[in-house]
């Protein structure tokens, strides 16, 4: 299994910028950005973010507002604040032995950074890897950085959740496949109708100095309350700002 998968990965792996480095900061940035976001969308944000904040010290020294501006448009802005706090810890104390002690770093992200940056023999199990292992009934006895990357790539591009490409899978032999059609979920609301959309537009407006989104007052107020509660905006006497910015 391992040999076939690694050979496949050598042939088919996408050329992604975070795969060309072992810098723990660059890898942490990529892993935080990749949470719930497709790789192709992350690439330009990742490159711009690292150009602006090439190491933890540069990120920690910047105000939170600057980090949010660099992140704005990628979504899930709370991740940016967590990354900013993690940068502060690393800048002051260095990389901890337990990476999951960093703000915003859970078991998967800790394992990924440990593997890809520090060469640790630990299995990094994200949703794609879990799907591959479950469908194939596999257990990994000797994880490695290359094997982690291969499993992730297979799950992201071949062994997908809804339309697996079993005809080109290097692990197809002996695999029982996805086990039937994926269950139908409830119809999703349009993204533009969600609170997350309004929250993102508010942060983008404050980052760009533009007008707040033109939505119903109750939607806007709900978004502002949530953003203030999460530390993504500050407001005083009806004026708003990103953390550390001048009020407007």
Q: Which residues are catalytic?
A: 31
Place of tokens 């023999």: 121
Strands (E), 128-244: 234-236, 239-241
Dist. CA 92–CA 26, nearest whole Å: 18
Q: Which residues contact 142 (CB under 8 A, 6 or more apart)?
A: 121
Hey, how many other C-beta atoms are within 10 angstroms of the C-beta on 95? 16
| Rounded Cα gap, residues 134 and 128, in angstroms | 10
> Which DSSP letter does residue 193 get?
G
Q: Report the alpha-carbon distance of residue 4 to residue 134 in Å, rounded.
A: 18
Could you tell me which residues come within 8 angstroms of residue 8 by beta carbon, excluding any fewer than 6 positions away? 150, 154, 170
Other Cβ atoms closer than 10 A to 97: 7
**Closest Cα to residue 125, out of 145, 157, 148?**
148
Please write down the long-range contacts of 179-185, taking CB distance under 8 Å and 24 or more positions apart: 179/135
């Amino acid at each position: 299994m391992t040999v076939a998968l690694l050979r496949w990965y050598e042939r088919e792996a996408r050329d992604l910028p975070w795969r060309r480095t072992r810098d723990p900061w660059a890898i942490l940035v990529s892993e935080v950005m990749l949470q719930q976001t497709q790789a192709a969308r992350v690439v330009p944000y990742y490159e711009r973010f690292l150009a602006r904040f090439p190491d933890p010290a540069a990120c920690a020294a910047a105000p939170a507002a600057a980090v949010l501006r660099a992140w704005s448009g990628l979504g899930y802005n709370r991740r940016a604040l967590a990354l900013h706090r993690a940068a502060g810890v690393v800048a002051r104390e260095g990389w901890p032995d337990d990476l999951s002690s960093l703000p915003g770093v859970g078991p998967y992200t800790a394992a990924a950074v440990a593997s890809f940056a520090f060469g640790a023999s630990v299995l990094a199990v994200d949703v794609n890897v879990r799907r591959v292992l479950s469908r194939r009934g596999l257990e990994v006895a000797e994880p490695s950085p290359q094997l982690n990357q291969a499993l992730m790539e297979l799950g992201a591009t071949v062994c997908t959740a809804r339309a697996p490409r079993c005809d080109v899978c290097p692990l197809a032999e002996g695999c029982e496949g996805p086990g039937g059609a994926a269950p139908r979920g409830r119809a999703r609301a349009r993204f533009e109708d969600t609170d997350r959309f309004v929250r993102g537009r508010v942060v983008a407006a404050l980052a760009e100095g533009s007008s707040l989104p033109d939505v119903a007052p109750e939607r806007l107020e709900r978004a502002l309350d949530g953003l203030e509660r999460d530390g993504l905006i500050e407001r005083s006497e009806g004026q708003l700002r990103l953390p550390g910015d001048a009020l407007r």
